[in-house]
Amino acid sequence: DIVMTQSPLSLPVTPGEPASISCRSSQSLLHSNGYNYLDWYVQKPGQSPQLLIYLGSNRASGVPDRISGSGSGTDFTLKISRVEAEDVGVYYCMQALQAHSFGQGTKLDIK
């Protein structure tokens, strides 16, 4: 099974400042087709999870361009260039190469 590890687990951020979340997988998520099967999801308070980024760096529909994903193989990063109040929530990475598995989640809140 592929184990996903996120850091930090808690991320207090001042509005307008950047934020970064790291996700590491126990095996490479790079498929032979050249794509990394790594997604990012956010669960905002009281809501179901929603897709932010798929295949490592592709924004889902409606996701603002201040949110970006990068990385390859086993190391991935989610970046928010300027945090806004609406970004509060728990962020999860998820691998989709072998079935699925999630990271532990990173709780982002406003300082």
State the residues that interact with another protein by CB under 8 A: 1, 35, 37, 39, 41, 43, 48-51, 53-55, 58, 60-61, 90, 92, 94, 96, 99-105
**C-beta of 54: minimal distance to another protein in Å?**
3
CA pair distance 90, 62, nearest whole angstrom: 18
> Which of 36, 74 has the CB closer to another protein?
36
Residue type, 47: Q
Under the phi-then-psi rule, with left for phi > 0, alpha for psi from -120 to 50, and beta for the rest, what region is 89?
left
> Is the CB of 14 or the CB of 44 nearer to another protein?
44
Closest distance between another protein and the C-beta of residue 83, in Å? 21
